[in-house]
Amino acid sequence: MTDHSKQKSRLAALRAELRLRGLDGFIVPRSDEYQGEYVPASAERLAWLTGFTGSAGFAIVLSDAAAVFVDGRYTLQVRNECDPEIWSYRHVVDAPRRAWLDEQLPEGGQLGYDPWLHSQREVDALKAECERVGGYAVACPDNPLDSIWDDRPEPPSSRVETHPLGFAGESVESKRQRLAGELSANQENAVVLTRSDSIAWLLNVRGTDVPHCPLALSFAILHADGTVDWFIDSRRIPDEVADSLGSAVRIHPSNEFAGALGDLSGKTVRLEPESAVAWIFDRLRGAEADIRTGQDPCQLPKAAKNETEVAGTRAAHLRDGAALCRFLAWLDAAVDEGGVSELEASRRLLEFRSSGEHFRDTSFETISGSGPNGAIVHYRVTEESDRHLQPGELYLVDSGGQYLDGTTDVTRTLAIGAPSEEMVRNYTRVLKGHIALATARFPVGTTGGQLDVLARRPLWEVGLDYDHGTGHGVGSYLNVHEGPQRIAKRPDSVALQPGMILSNEPGYYKTGAYGIRIENLVVVQPAEQEGERSMLEFETLTLAPLDRRLIESSLLTREERDWVDRYHARVLREIAPQVDAETGRWLEAATRPLGG
């Protein structure tokens, strides 16, 4: 539980700072200038102010009102972490920002924002909302919260590493020239790259600047002649990394980025409004550059993995599956003896996983939730929230690993003791949705949004649903949540392509009781079946058994039962040679055919 006294004193200090600046309010996002999912400790402003530690959200502070806005993943977590006496809780869809500003922002009120922390698209929306309610969004030359954060950590300064060609599958020169050709074809002189994962992919480098994602936070400019200006402290670049990049990649101190943007005066420059912060747009406008908004050119080629990357992720999933099976076998025995807690289970899983070849880190903080904690979609166990796994409950464990050859993400829901009939029915319906997506065949040009209903239909049939996306993209030893591909209710225009890796993770969550999620990673492949149109399908990558105790076979069709049996046979065939004899015996039992 967060220390609420600190929240009160920090909120009071921020309000005092806003009064000194003549501002009626300030918006505090959970983001930094690179707009990634994870931020370094030095940029955890939202958590420092409010106590909320989720990966997405924002707060608005006015002189006499304050609110924290979150999406459906965090509606329970925000109540556990933020003091209800000083913060109101808002769902970004059901109780949006504009409605709250309409109620709370005074006529003519000035709401400050940090142009380094919001994308241009966000700033455009914020300005429009403020104007509609009779106020103004005002860019602050420096962040008022930073003025009161006296124990703010230092920014990251870790050394950058080369990501070897044997894992990357394509050289830096090839990538530079490929994207430069696209710029030239579009008559663009340059593109400003603001996504750190794009720069990591383009330059075949990795870092440790943020938790769980192997990124070196930086900016870059790719020119139409194939050269790159990379803005990062040169002391972080070992000689061998600089040598591997060659003279076509020029390394500059970060404080030269503003001047380099000014040098683009009169040039046609591509910039992505969804990810590039407003400050960069302001700087280019001031330089009178011809800004052409468009997608970061690294995004699609990064998402469509090459053969080396796909082979690497298959190998990583084989090792990861072996670690997960060792954990599941241990857990089954340990819970029978009693005394296993969420924290202990999470730690033991890390022990099994970290012994694997090429392991570097978890791909996110493990979600280890038993009973009612499993209903918190992005639950993070702490010493205070830790509870023991109890008979008659469900245990949800969502975890993953960062390996040099691939990134994994897998969720299994397990029965502790005898599950209720309701738990079994709902698990089976989630499984039916999972199978429907796993077995989908679809024409080239299909988007993830068009497939989302397949995973939800078995739940919708009985009036159930889940308030998160069905699938996110996954990187190759990069971000575990990667765009632009996704599978979600929201429509999108990104067609699925061979080599794209996504999650398949429908779920169901009963507040205060239990959570269910089944997640495998899949890779898009050309379909084997013949037809009039070119078709695509998914190859499942994740290798770990489903809990047979939670499957009601009578609710499955014969085709669905056959899918489970084939999947379990594959898990046994591929994982058994990787594990010890005791785990192998457990695995044989866990993968028995449903009829057996």
Q: Which residue has the tokens 């009064």?
A: 19
Q: How far is CA 197 from CA 200, 204, 475, in A?
A: 5, 10, 9
Q: Name, in order, each residue with C-beta under 8 angstroms of 451's C-beta and a sequence gap of 6 or more.
A: 437, 440, 442, 470, 487
CA-closest candidate to residue 340, choices 291, 299, 391: 391
pTM of the model: 0.93
Running DSSP on this structure, what letter comes out for residue 211?
A: S
Contact yes or no for 200/214 (Cβ under 8 A)? yes
Alpha-carbon distance of 86 to 144, in angstroms, equals 19
Exposure of 441 in the CB half-sphere (CA atoms within 13 A): 9
Domain coordinates in residue numbering, the chain: 4-148, 161-296, 304-590
Q: Which amino acid is at 52?
A: F
* pLDDT value of position 596: 59
Alpha-carbon distance of 530 to 304, in angstroms, equals 23
Which H or E element spans position 25?
Answer: strand 25-29
Q: What's the fold here for domain 4-148?
A: Creatine Amidinohydrolase; Chain A, domain 1 (3.40.350)
Tell me the pLDDT tens digit for each residue of 52-86. Answer: 998 889 999 999 999 999 987 788 888 889 999 99
Token pair for 129: 């909302």
Q: What is the largest CA-CA distance in the chain?
A: 73
Instruction: Grade residue 368 by pLDDT with cuts at 50, 70 and 90.
Output: very high
CA-closest candidate to residue 486, choices 498, 502, 499, 475: 502
Alpha-carbon distance of 227 to 335, in angstroms, equals 57
Residue 1 pLDDT greater than 70, yes or no: no
Ramachandran area for residue 269 (φ above 0: left; ψ -120 to 50: alpha; else beta): beta
Mean pLDDT value of segment 574-592: 98
Tell me the pLDDT tens digit for each residue of 228-267. Answer: 999 999 999 999 999 999 999 999 999 999 999 999 999 9
Query: 156-160, 307-311, 543-547 — which is least confidently predicted?
Result: 156-160
Contact yes or no for 472/502 (Cβ under 8 A)? yes
Signed CA dihedral, 316, 317, 322, 324: sign only:
positive
Q: What's the fold here for domain 161-296?
A: Creatine Amidinohydrolase; Chain A, domain 1 (3.40.350)
Running DSSP on this structure, what letter comes out for residue 30?
A: S
Contact yes or no for 75/90 (Cβ under 8 A)? no
Token pair for 530: 């013949």
Token pair for 102: 């309409």
Q: What is the 3 state secondary structure string of 467-520?
A: CCCCEEECCCCCCCCEEEEEECCCCCCCECCCCEEEEECCEEEECCCEEEECEE
Centroid of chain to Cα 91: 19
Residue 594 pLDDT greater than 50, yes or no: yes
Tell me the pLDDT tens digit for each residue of 89-124. Answer: 989 888 889 999 999 999 999 999 999 999 999 999
Tell me the pLDDT tens digit for each residue of 379-428. Answer: 889 898 999 999 999 999 999 999 999 999 999 999 999 999 999 999 99
Residue 307 pLDDT greater than 90, yes or no: yes
Contact yes or no for 508/470 (Cβ under 8 A)? no
CA-closest candidate to residue 431, choices 396, 455, 466: 455
Average pLDDT score, the chain: 95
Alpha-carbon distance of 190 to 267, in angstroms, equals 8
Residue 2 pLDDT greater than 60, yes or no: no
Q: Name, in order, each residue with C-beta under 8 angstroms of 420's C-beta and a sequence gap of 6 or more.
A: 392
Alpha-carbon distance of 29 to 277, in angstroms, equals 12
Mean pLDDT value of segment 344-355: 97
Token pair for 94: 């059901």
Q: What angle do CA 97, 98, 101 make, to 5 degrees?
A: 85
In the sheet that 406-407 helps form, which strands lie side by side, from edge to edge? Answer: 359-362, 401-403, 406-407
Query: Collapsing DSSP states into helix, strand and coil, what is residue 549?
Result: helix
Percent of the chain with pLDDT over 90: 90
Total count of residues recorded for the chain: 596
For β-strands 393-399 and 401-403, DSSP reports them as unpaired
Kindly tell me the burial class for residue 259, based on how many C-beta atoms sit within 10 Å of its own C-beta (0-12, 13-18, 19 or more): exposed
Tell me the pLDDT tens digit for each residue of 122-180. Answer: 999 999 999 999 999 999 999 999 999 999 999 999 999 999 999 999 999 999 999 99
Say whether 304-590 and 4-148 share the same fold: no
Q: How far is CA 510 from CA 192, 372, 373, 389, in A?
A: 45, 8, 10, 17
Preceding omega of 484 cis (within 30 degrees of 0): yes
Q: Which CATH class is domain 304-590?
A: alpha beta
